[in-house]
Chains A and B, each alone.
With several copies, the nearest count.
Chain A
Amino acid sequence: MNLGVEIAGVSLKNPVTTGSGTFGSGEEYSEFVDLSSLGAVTTKGVANVPWEGNPTPRVAETYGGMLNAVGLQNPGVDVMIKRDLPFLKKAGAAVIVNVCGRTVEDYIEVVERLSDQPVDLLEINVSCPNVKEGGIAFGQDPKALYEITKAVKEKADQPIIMKLSPNVTDIKEMAKAAEAAGSDALSLINTLTGMKIDIEKRDFLLANKTGGLSGPAIKPVAVRMVYEVCSTVKIPVIGMGGILNAEDALEFIMAGATAVAVGTANFTDPCAAVKVIDGIKSYMERHNIEDIRELIGCVK
């Protein structure tokens, strides 16, 4: 049985990675998950310098989902290079580094610093709704997305995956812009912007007022967008948004995703990603499917 897939020339042993920001640097979850059993570990967004992130509360539970406004707190790319990447290499994990920045220059600095590092793929986060500058501003306008994609692609040594925001009128336009600018792959969806009000305190639940909605609540929107994008562009897609189990992951794969990421589900069960892999295997056995690639985009 073959579970292996390929993203932009990089072979992954199976199609399951982790949602950036929901799996730390991988180290924290290594107590529960053999990192080398994952298709890849996708790390928390990293910038050129350390970021403090937003004030707390940073998370709020919502019905079937959660809001987060962590605000991309990260220790900066130097710490990642010194501490996290060696750890991941030793653990035998394929690595997707998620990159964030305030300006195009910030992004470029990070990808350049990573060029000689044991990093398989670069995921460029232009879709974080929780920071004032950068982030989603690049991800809601096809022209801005085109420009940053082109600029980053020029400097990046590893293949790049532009990560798209769902907070747009037409996800197909965004996907086309990223493809045209040379993105090697796409990942989607990042979180939907949401808000929760504490009616007892009569105040916002998050210090940042708004946050990004993730979890199974958003899965139907994510599957729809992945389907639309896969019907529009030729580059491979990593699908995510609300995957709790193998059935959810298979929806994305059948909609056209070459790989999937397990995000919020890690908070519900730290072993979620591994269970998704096992569940996909059982599905394939039960249905006599020899190669996962038979399932990619099989629903049209």
Chain B
Amino acid sequence: MGKHNIKAEIVSQKKLSTDIFDMTLNVGDMAKEALPGQFVSVYVNDGSKLLPRPISICGIDAKHKTVRIVYRIAGKGTELLSTYEAGTRLNVLGPLGNGFNMKNEKAILIGGGIGIPPMLELAKQLKCEKTIVLGYRNQDTFLKEEFEAYGEVLVSTEDGSVGTKGNVIDAVREQAREGSVIYACGPTPMLKGVKAYAEEMGLEAQISLEERMACGIGACLACVCKSKEVDGHTHVRNKRVCKDGPVFDAKEVEF
């Protein structure tokens, strides 16, 4: 097991929804080592852009040596990425980060916005009973149908156009689904809500954080989050999102 620094070929790319793209990459042996919740560093083919784009792994197909990523156009790099056709080759580094700690306990999976994709492979691999809660802005949903194959899916939308009007926590409360572990990825306010909810209910919560990165492998200390205790590696109250995370026990981190 280890990280791979490869030239990956795009196997397919399609548009899923407004500004949301779905890309499958042939990553060779990286595929069989990837875990749900891990991410890859994708380098776009333009010399003016030196840093990687960290993108979560949304699907793993070890047999076909591919991983799937689903991403939103957020800036110039992802915009460029969205223009590539099958056959284009990209530098990819991965799999990176720790991934979710999959437990065999009744689970609540929560994904918000572009935090939804990493929950898909998790939903697939988690063999226990689970409720899946997906938060979107509006009726422009994506991946929803695919999640339905793996468990009951609750939806919240900001504008109330689909499912519960409000956020994912509103949906969880409204539908009163139970579980003993929460797995979550999404924007910071959502993760704060998840952390608070888990504390309130006395549940374990594994949350996947986002931070600006440079190396992606724990060396540069760009991507830290505040930890509750002094961290064993950094010896200060900082943990590296790219290496110690992106998934953390909500109790360990402050944000």
A residues with CB within 8 A of B: 21-25, 28-29, 31-32, 44, 50-53, 56-61, 63-66, 68, 70, 73, 75-76, 79, 215-216, 264, 266-271
Contact = CB atoms under 8 A, between A and B. Distances in A.
A65 B50 contact: yes
B223 interface: yes
B237 interface: yes
A255 to B, nearest CB: 20
Interface stretch (B11-19, B25-33, B109-117, B213-221): B213-221
Interface stretch (B41-49, B98-106, B160-168): B41-49
Nearest to A69: B222
A70 B43 CA distance: 22
A28 B217 contact: yes
A267 B234 contact: no
B43 A68 contact: no
B214 to A, nearest CB: 5
B2 interface: yes
Interface string B50-61: 111000000000
A57 B212 contact: yes
Contacts of A268: 43, 50-52
Interface in B188-224: 211-224
Nearest to A267: B214
A53 B50 contact: no
Nearest to B217: A28
Contact of A66 (B51, B225, B238, B243): B51
Nearest to A29: B219
Given A73-B238, A270-B93, A64 B48 contact: yes
Contacts of A269: 5, 91
A135 B80 CA distance: 38
Nearest to A24: B219
B128 interface: no
Contacts of A63: 47-48
Given A22-B219, A53-B224, A59 B50 contact: no
Contacts of B222: 56, 58-59, 68, 70
Given A75-B234, A75-B235, A56 B212 contact: yes
Contacts of A53: 221, 224, 236, 238
Given A32-B5, A50-B235, A58-B224, A215 B218 contact: no
A25 B219 CA distance: 7
28 contacts: A22-B219, A23-B219, A24-B215, A24-B221, A28-B215, A29-B217, A31-B2, A31-B3, A44-B219, A51-B236, A52-B238, A53-B224, A56-B212, A57-B211, A57-B212, A61-B51, A63-B47, A63-B48, A66-B214, A75-B233, A75-B236, A76-B235, A264-B50, A267-B51, A268-B43, A268-B50, A270-B93, A271-B5
Interface residues of B, number: 34
B72 to A, nearest CB: 15
Interface in B216-255: 216-225, 233-238, 243
Q: Is the interface of A mostly helix, strand, loop or mixed?
A: loop
Contacts of A57: 211-212
Contacts of A270: 5, 93, 215, 217
Nearest to A52: B236
Closest 7 CB pairs of A and B: A24-B219, A75-B235, A28-B219, A59-B222, A57-B212, A50-B235, A52-B236
A224 to B, nearest CB: 18
Given A56-B211, A59-B220, A270-B217, A215 B50 contact: yes
Contacts of B51: 59, 61, 66, 267-268
Given A51-B236, A59-B220, A68-B222, A32 B50 contact: no
Contacts of B219: 22-25, 28-29, 44, 266
Nearest to B91: A269
A58 B224 CA distance: 9
Contacts of B218: 24, 28
Contact of A58 (B47, B50, B91, B212): B212
A57 B5 CA distance: 25
Nearest to B77: A61
Contacts of A24: 215, 218-221
A159 B52 CA distance: 36
A57 B222 CA distance: 7
B78 to A, nearest CB: 12
B67 to A, nearest CB: 19
Given A56-B212, A57-B211, A70 B221 contact: yes
Contact of A61 (B49, B211, B216): B49
A36 B230 CA distance: 32
